[in-house]
Amino acid sequence: MVISDSFYTPFTQRVAQEVLTTLKEHPDAWTRVDTILEFSQNQQTKYYALQILEQVIKTRWKVLPRNQCEGIKKYIVNLIIKVSSDAESLEREKIYLNKLNMILVQVLKREWPKNWETFIPDIVGASKTNESLCQNNMAILKLLSEEVFDFSSGQLTQTKAKHLKDSMCSEFSQIFTLCQFVMDSSQNAPLVGATLETLLRFLNWIPLGYIFETKLIETLITKFLNVPMFRNVTLKCLTEIAGVTVPNYDEMFIILFSETMQHLETMLPVSTNIKDAYATGSDQEQNFIQNLAMFLCTYLKEHGTLVEKKQLLDTLMKALHYIVLISSVEDVEIFKICLEYWNGLAADLYREHPSFPTFLGRTNNSIPPRRQFYSDVLTKVNPQISETRTLNVSETRIVEAMRTKFVRSMLAATRRNKKREGGGVQGVHEIVEEERPRWAKGLVLDEGCVIFSFEFNVYQKISEV
């Protein structure tokens, strides 16, 4: 029986649902999937048929005869090629095609590479024949990467997951060549966007040589960062790269920072009122500001000291200024991103000279150079955040009470430490690090301006003891 578009009334839809449920429970229902997909015009019915096929692949693939496995595999591939070879059907059948792609990935997890050694050469070769087909193949590679590297825990055995990961890495050169070819040559915007999205999923596992020993970073910055359609996914890619911490590519990290900042000043001048721009901007523009916050905070957290060593202080100061401006944006998630960076920086400066009695905004000729460099920026941060992140009275009372308790606890511990061991302020730092997490857990990050303020005050008061 084939279910078609004749089921439109509530009664007939209920009958159709009963028929489909009965069909799904039949052990040989999957043998009728091709007939349903060929003759049905109802997308819901097609989707249901694909669910039946997916269930068979997940639960009975190993017990099916080999010729049936090959037949299912060939049928799915041909159906995907048929639907995705035309740009109009690719867009029109997007949901249906995505389900087909997911089913193909389920087959790949069971067949590749042992029973489908040529999969990577096949998909790369097919991608070069048709741009619409290539766009969908990028989506398949993206799904495969996610299934193998992101979601394999609990779904695959460790041995199988490792085997798939090793196979992806060993054959990745062909995929990377395809990505480079698309980024260098294609004028098809949807295809380029799909390629960048797929590349983003690759960046957290591919061998580092593909990132730092090719022209990938240069291509991302010079070709796509300035293009509004691609700048968000490009910034996400650059953030993934910025999060890598290896000592062998310092020069590439400096190039990444310098060139990105150079283009950023053209796209978003330092004089821009980012708070107002965010409030009146489109969703894409708001996402850009959030992605920019992620990039700058991630890069400076991991490589800020490298920038200092290379004496790129003007560029560093501009980056810090951008973070100051972004910190005033009325968005909780963006605020959390900036807050984490500022707290980390303040803690780092304190740990560097825990016994130094001066801190933000104070003048002293003997202030350590690094703390003096950051003092101007940090002096601007706390008041600005306090102005833009005002809490209501009840929240303030709760947090102020916790803040007072924290400070008193730390001061009391400091005095006990001095009496017990005759130690100085160095011992205080150790107590702060030991005690702080217990109190910090009681604070809600939405009240981050108070956390931020209160941590600075703790550092100040302890330094004065």
User: Can you give the pTM of this predicted structure?
Assistant: 0.80
Evaluate the CA torsion angle 90, 93, 99, 104 in order and state its sign.
negative
- The 3-class secondary structure across the chain, one letter per residue, is CCCCCCCCCHHHHHHHHHHHHHHHHCCCHHHHHHHHHHHCCCHHHHHHHHHHHHHHHHHHHHHCCHHHHHHHHHHHHHHHHHHHCCHHHHHHCHHHHHHHHHHHHHHHHHHCCCCCCCHHHHHHHHHCCCHHHHHHHHHHHHHHHHHHHHCCECCECHHHHHHHHHHHHHCHHHHHHHHHHHHHHCCCHHHHHHHHHHHHHHCCCCCCHHHHCCCHHHHHHHHHCCCCCCHHHHHHHHHHHHCCCCHHHHHHHHHHHHHHHHHHHHHCCCCCCHHHHHHHCCHHHHHHHHHHHHHHHHHHHHHHHHHHHCCCHHHHHHHHHHHHHHHCCCCHHHHHHHHHHHHHHHHHHHHHCCCCCCCCCCCCCCCCHHHHHHHHHHHHHHHHHHHHCCCCHHHHHHHHHHHHHHHHHHHHHHHHHHHHHCCCHHHHHHHHHHHHHHHHCCCCHHHHHHHHHHHHHHHHHHHHC
Q: Is the pLDDT of residue 275 over 80?
A: yes
Q: Is the pLDDT of residue 256 over 60?
A: yes
Lowest mean pLDDT among 173-177, 372-376, 392-396: 392-396
Write down the residue that tokens 């037949």 correspond to.
71
- Is residue 274 a part of any domain in this protein? yes
What tokens does 123 get? Answer: 């998909």
Lowest mean pLDDT among 37-41, 315-319, 461-465: 461-465
Lowest mean pLDDT among 20-29, 71-80, 171-180, 232-241: 20-29
The reported pLDDT for the residue numbered 9 is 67
Q: What is the pLDDT averaged over residues 186-197?
A: 97
The reported pLDDT for the residue numbered 385 is 62
- Is residue 428 a part of any domain in this protein? no
pLDDT confidence bin for 215, thresholds 50/70/90: very high
Lowest mean pLDDT among 126-130, 174-178, 385-389: 385-389
The reported pLDDT for the residue numbered 43 is 83
pLDDT confidence bin for 463, thresholds 50/70/90: very low
Burial environment of residue 129 by CB neighbours within 10 A (0 to 12, 13 to 18, 19 or more)? exposed
Quote the crossing angle between the two packed helices 393-421 and 448-464, to the nearest 10°: 30
- Is residue 149 a part of any domain in this protein? no
Q: Give the C-alpha separation, 33 to 47, whole Å.
A: 10
The reported pLDDT for the residue numbered 28 is 84
Q: Give the C-alpha separation, 245 to 344, whole Å.
A: 17
pLDDT confidence bin for 161, thresholds 50/70/90: confident
Average pLDDT, the chain: 81
Q: Is the pLDDT of residue 214 over 80?
A: yes
Q: Is the pLDDT of residue 190 over 80?
A: yes
The reported pLDDT for the residue numbered 355 is 62
List pLDDT tens digits, range 300-351: 999 999 999 999 999 999 999 999 999 999 999 999 999 999 999 988 988 8
- Is residue 48 a part of any domain in this protein? no
Whether omega for the bond prior to residue 113 falls within 30 degrees of 0, making it cis, is: yes
CB 323 within 8 A of CB 338: yes
Report angle CA 220, 150, 177 to the nearest 5 degrees: 40
- Is residue 224 a part of any domain in this protein? yes
List pLDDT tens digits, range 413-435: 444 444 444 444 343 334 334 43
Write down the residue that tokens 């990938």 correspond to.
216
pLDDT confidence bin for 379, thresholds 50/70/90: confident
List pLDDT tens digits, range 116-159: 999 999 999 999 999 999 999 999 999 999 999 888 767 788 88
What tokens does 126 get? Answer: 């097919």
Task: Tell me, rounded to whole angstroms, the distance of Cα 176 from its chain centroid.
Answer: 20
Domain count within the chain: 1
Q: What is the pLDDT averaged over residues 285-293?
A: 97
Q: Is the pLDDT of residue 184 over 60?
A: yes
The reported pLDDT for the residue numbered 426 is 40
- Is residue 253 a part of any domain in this protein? yes
Quote the crossing angle between the two packed helices 94-111 and 66-84, to the nearest 10°: 150
List pLDDT tens digits, range 221-242: 999 999 999 999 999 999 999 9
The reported pLDDT for the residue numbered 132 is 96
In one letter, which amino acid is 230? F
- Is residue 47 a part of any domain in this protein? no
* 428-432 contacts at long range (C-beta below 8 A, 24 or more positions apart): 428/354, 428/462, 428/465, 429/350, 429/351, 429/354, 429/462, 432/458, 432/462
Give the residue numbers spanning the domain of 338: 207-353
The reported pLDDT for the residue numbered 386 is 61
The reported pLDDT for the residue numbered 241 is 97
Residues 6+ apart with CB under 8 A from 410: 428, 431, 432, 435, 458, 461, 462
- Select the more confidently predicted residue: 320 or 445: 320
Q: Give the C-alpha separation, 355 to 462, whole Å.
A: 9
Q: Is the pLDDT of residue 401 over 60?
A: no
- Is residue 202 a part of any domain in this protein? no
